[in-house]
Amino acid sequence: MYAQIPAPTSNLKAGFAERDITPGIGMEQPGGYTKNFHRSFHDACKVRVALFDDGKKRAAVIGLDALVVPRQIVLDARAQIEKATGITGDAVLICASHSHSSGPVGMVLPGEYDTASDLVKKLAYEESSCADAGYLLRVTSEIVAGVVAADRAKVPVQLGFGFGHEDKVAFNRRLRMKNGQSWSHPGAGNPDILEYAGPIDPQVGVIGAWDMQGQLVGVVVNYACHATTNPGGISANWIQYLEKTIQGGLGTRAPIVFMQGACGDVTQVDNLSPNQRPKSEEWSQYVGSRIGAEAIRTLLAMPKISTAPVETRQEVLKIKRRPPSPQRVAKSLEIMQKPKNTVEPTEWIFAKEIVMLDHLNKTVPLVDCEVQCVKIGPACFVSNPAEYFVQYGLDIKKGSQHAFTFPCELSNGIVGYVPTEEAFGPNGGGYETRLTAYSNLEITAGTQMANKGIELANQMKAEPKPEHPKIPPFAGKPWMYGNVPPELE
């Protein structure tokens, strides 16, 4: 009889789950400053949950196929998750993918302007993109259900961690111009463009989880690129092709959890390309499939470990808004008194935003900005609630002591665009620096968040980077078939 080989074991567990949050036809499509409505369906929007348990602590990282995640959803979901599972709020990270083809989670929230003047209420509720109260409740409920399902589904696993490299699908959308400023999307072929005004982050961060029989249980992917390929209709955006590529390439139905990187100034649009842009469907497939293919390459090459301590840190910063000047408010109010069709559309939109911001600044001058770190073994997720410039993500990676650092923007709340301080300087500018009801934090906000993220990350012990097992010292003979000179006769 042969001795039975003991089955591999692991003290580490993980569970993955998905829940559907596809909006209905006719619901608002968020992503702009005016109302737009969904007219067709392309693919499902999901809550995507990865839950890790080291035997002492559990933590959930959650990716939403959504434009943003309002703070109240986060607070409500965390409270319900703790009641249902015992997992505390500091260990629940909720990150929106920023899909511009998803459900009505913003921009104006229910009741947000109820104490404002009649004019401001009209501008907010009738002229702006608005969240749907029922849909917000549904998203909250499905986040909770997803975490409960992942907690129940967890099994002993081995984890792998890695970085791939993809630099052909994402580009900085701010360009240095001959006039000394930096403009967002200045137009293909514009002869006044000098160069990109900022970098990208080409790293594809990947965590893979396999059960003790070697079957893939789930994958987490972190990459920095706006989800603005909009393939047509309701959609998870290019993230659906990320999912399809990984699942199809590996022959699995394992859930794919996407955590958006720092991409406030990074999109799929290459403003320096001489080529015509692809159609939306083709573009969506191109972006998602290339990132997915790189994730597969990374998964197949990563060493696996059975021990990964789970730890979390969390702090809420209070950050000031940038108030519009009284003169600008007065001018914007004057514009709002004119018939809408007599004002240039862009001028009207941003005058509307200034009037709305004036109300917010008077009623809520300080904004809650949560920074959270979730450590899973050698990896550390570092969150911020902004459309965060990519340079900050690179700074966080550089400052973190962990082997794999995954910046996660649009997490645990939404505070709009947060550019670098340089972008507010004499050679800065561009869309992201505009003052609106959506984007208005003081110019040091990004630095405050980055410094706090690095501080919290480095409070937690850095685990060693996993390595493949090394071969034993050479102690045998060469291959007998091969250890011969050439045979010529």
**71-85 vs 133-153: helix crossing angle, rounded to 10:** 40
CB 355 within 8 A of CB 361: no
Domain ranges of the chain: 13-310+374-414
DSSP string, 284-335: HHHHHHHHHHHHHHHHHH--EES---EEEEEEEEEEEB-PPPHHHHHHHHHH
Q: What CA–CA distance (Å, rounded) separates 198 from 182?
A: 10
Q: Within 96-207, where are the H helices?
A: 118-125, 133-153
Q: What tens digit of pLDDT does each residue of 394-424 get?
A: 999 999 999 999 999 999 999 999 999 999 9
Q: How many other CB atoms are there within 10 angstroms of residue 199's CB atom?
A: 14
When pLDDT is cut at 50, 70 and 90, the band that residue 288 belongs to is very high
Residue 1 has pLDDT above 50, yes or no: no
Mean pLDDT of 458-483: 95
Q: Kindly give the pairing relationship between strand 182-184 and strand 174-177.
A: antiparallel
Q: Give the pLDDT band (50/70/90) at residue 475.
A: confident
Q: Which residue has the tokens 């080409």?
A: 202
Residue 8 confidence class, pLDDT cut points 50, 70, 90:
low
Q: Output the average pLDDT for the chain.
A: 97
d(CA 236, CA 155): 28
Element (H, E) at 64: strand 58-64
pLDDT per residue over 376-386, tens digit each? 999 999 999 99
Q: How many CB atoms lie within 10 A of CB 2?
A: 4
pLDDT tens-digit profile of 207-250? Answer: 999 999 999 999 999 999 999 999 999 999 999 999 999 999 99
The identity of residue 128, as a single letter, is S
Q: Which residue has the tokens 């998203």?
A: 139
Share of the chain above pLDDT 90, in %: 97
CA separation for the pair 140, 109 (Å, rounded): 14
3-state secondary structure (DSSP) of residue 450: helix
Give me the pLDDT at residue 294, please.
99
d(C-alpha 32, C-alpha 11), whole Å:
47
What was the pLDDT predicted at 10? 84
pLDDT tens for 338-393 read: 999 999 999 999 999 999 999 999 999 999 999 999 999 999 999 999 999 999 99
What pLDDT is recorded for position 98?
Answer: 99
